[in-house]
Structure 1
Amino acid sequence: MAVAPSHPRPRQQKRKDWILRSQSSGMERIEAFFHGRGYAMHRHDTYAIGITMGGVQSFQYKKSMRHSLPGNTMALYPDEPHDGQAGSEAGFRYRMLYIEPSLLQDALGGVALPFIEGGISTDPRLFGVVRNLLLHMDDEVEPLQQDDGIFELARAMDAVSGKRPRRHAADFGAAQLAREYIHGALDRTLTLDELAQACGRDRWSLTRDFRSFFGTSPYRYLSMRRLDMARRLMAQGLPLADAAAMSGFADQSHMTRLFTKTYGIAPAHWLRIMRREA
């Protein structure tokens, strides 16, 4: 009896990685898919708050590997190193909100920033608020709608937070003033002495105050606002060298190093996987 020849099973083609991005004042929303390693270790000065929509989303955070599943809420504290990778061969799809701590501070009124133990919450209150903020990625968020969502997020984060970073007696007004001053100096060299003098505080008290209320140092905050500007310019089609120069960086290499260290992905690769629709 003749045996039918065997045919190799067609190899299943991997889905391409992609990122869909939406930007509004002080808040960035993304939806993304990665089939393997998405990001190297990196850190940014915003909260990273999001939901896993499919697959297993794994990441190193606070010296442990975490695994987020659909129904979980991820809430990563500002300036905490983390990476991102698929926890299964199917890859993972997620939506994430990157929000400046200053927006939460406007609602919290000058208290220590909320901290979610372990970076993952199963609390339905937080999940519902975050899911609403991440609905309809292709729709423009109205200012009043965004303010309502941020207020609800601040209340939910405060309600479900675990232990908080230790606080010292701090001057919220001085920290706010320093933040505003930094926004006016993105295109030039700024020293801590100049910043302290403008705010009426000594250098190290101001540094502690700034970290307490905004989750990062004044220099990191300045660098991140320059990166925000560079990303906007690159997304508009400007060459990397021009985007770097217009954003206050010494040169393209300087911007590329900081971009990769901050986002865990090189700017050229970031541009390649950006897409407008899922």
Structure 2
Amino acid sequence: MSHDLDSQAFEGLGRLCIDAAENRIISGPDPAGMERIEARFHGSAFDLHRHDTYAIGVTLHGVQTFRYLGAARHSLPGQIIVLHPDELHDGGAGTEDGLRYRMLYLEPSLMLDCLGGASLPFVRDGVVTDAAFCATLLSALGPLEQELDDLFVDDFLVQLMQSLTRHGGQPAKPMTRTAWRAAALARDYLTENLTRPVRSGELEAITGLDRYALSR
């Protein structure tokens, strides 16, 4: 669904841009704990504000400029923005060409479930250059108007956390022999049920692993 960004569209985020005709936000159908948007605007868009979610996105057009953790940041097309919950930041277009980006907002509880007890990674640099990370994000943000099925979301979250962990300086967990056996069981089950959608709970039941451990 497409929305014009009128004066009330970002109430609470300090909306500054007054030319609503050139600015809009598009949101997609989202699973619980996740929100996906595309935003387009010119000029200064938001004054200082915070999110209670992670905000992770890709700049698609223009220069995305913002202040974060006490420094000015600039994201170019193909670069990734990583904003942690409760961190103060603003945002706007850095040139007269305007700005277009897609953003994913994730509840911290989803990240914790995916990590299996490990601490949340902290990516201090607000802008990241990583082609594989970008491809992972666009796998969910590209088909914005499509619903995401359970198995895709589980696998996407694991890949996302691996990217965040890599840039946060935390080592990846090695795969155990038990996990290899569980992965083989899941593969065989999926092969046997190619003609119907398979839910994450089914794979958890036959492998004994939670959905995120299985996706890893």
Asked whether the two chains share a fold, i.e. TM above 0.5, the reply is yes
C-alpha distance in structure 1 between counterparts of 2:151 and 2:23, whole Å: 33
What are the Cα deviations for residues 105-146 of structure 1, in whole angstroms up to 9, with x where unaligned?
A: 112112221111221111223212112121111111112211
Alignment match, 1:131: 138
Alignment match, 1:82: 89
Q: Secondary structure at the match of 2:35?
A: strand
Count of aligned positions: 151
Q: Secondary structure at the match of 1:97?
A: strand
Alignment match, 1:106: 113
Query: What amino acid does structure 2 have at the position aligned with 1:118?
Result: D
Alignment match, 2:48: 41
Alignment match, 1:57: 64
C-alpha distance in structure 2 between counterparts of 1:37 and 1:162, whole Å: 33
Q: Does 1:19 align with 2:19?
A: no
Q: Does 1:158 align with 2:160?
A: no
What are the Cα deviations for residues 2-54 of structure 1, in whole angstroms up to 9, with x where unaligned?
A: xxxxxxxxxxx996110011232100000010111211211111110000000
TM-score (norm 2): 0.66
Instruction: Give the structure with the larger helix fraction.
Output: 1
Q: Secondary structure at the match of 2:22?
A: coil
TM-score (norm 1): 0.52
- Runs of 4+ in structure 1 displaced over 2 angstroms? none
Instruction: Give the structure with the larger strand fraction.
Output: 2
User: Which structure 2 segments of 5+ residues have no match?
Assistant: 1-18, 171-216
C-alpha distance in structure 1 between counterparts of 2:88 and 2:20, whole Å: 28
The answer on whether the counterparts of 1:117 and 1:162 sit within 8 Å (CA) in structure 2 is no
Q: Which one scores higher on RCO, CA 8 angstroms, separation ≥ 6?
A: 1
C-alpha distance in structure 2 between counterparts of 1:103 and 1:24, whole Å: 11
Distance 1:160 1:118, change over 3 A: closer
User: Which structure 1 segments of 5+ residues have no match?
Assistant: 1-12, 164-278
Rg: which structure is higher?
A: 1
C-alpha distance in structure 2 between counterparts of 1:15 and 1:93, whole Å: 15
Q: Secondary structure at the match of 1:139?
A: coil
C-alpha distance in structure 2 between counterparts of 1:47 and 1:95, whole Å: 14
Q: Secondary structure at the match of 1:118?
A: coil
Query: What amino acid does structure 2 have at the position aligned with 1:112?
Result: S
Query: What amino acid does structure 1 have at the position aligned with 2:165?
Result: D
C-alpha distance in structure 2 between counterparts of 1:29 and 1:99, whole Å: 9
What is the identity percentage for the equivalent residue pairs of Structure 1 and Structure 2? 46
What are the Cα deviations for residues 148-201 of structure 1, in whole angstroms up to 9, with x where unaligned?
A: 1111111111122148xxxxxxxxxxxxxxxxxxxxxxxxxxxxxxxxxxxxxx
Q: Among residues 156, 180, 195, which one is paired with 1:149 in the alignment?
A: 156
Deviation at 1:94, TM superposition (A): 0.2
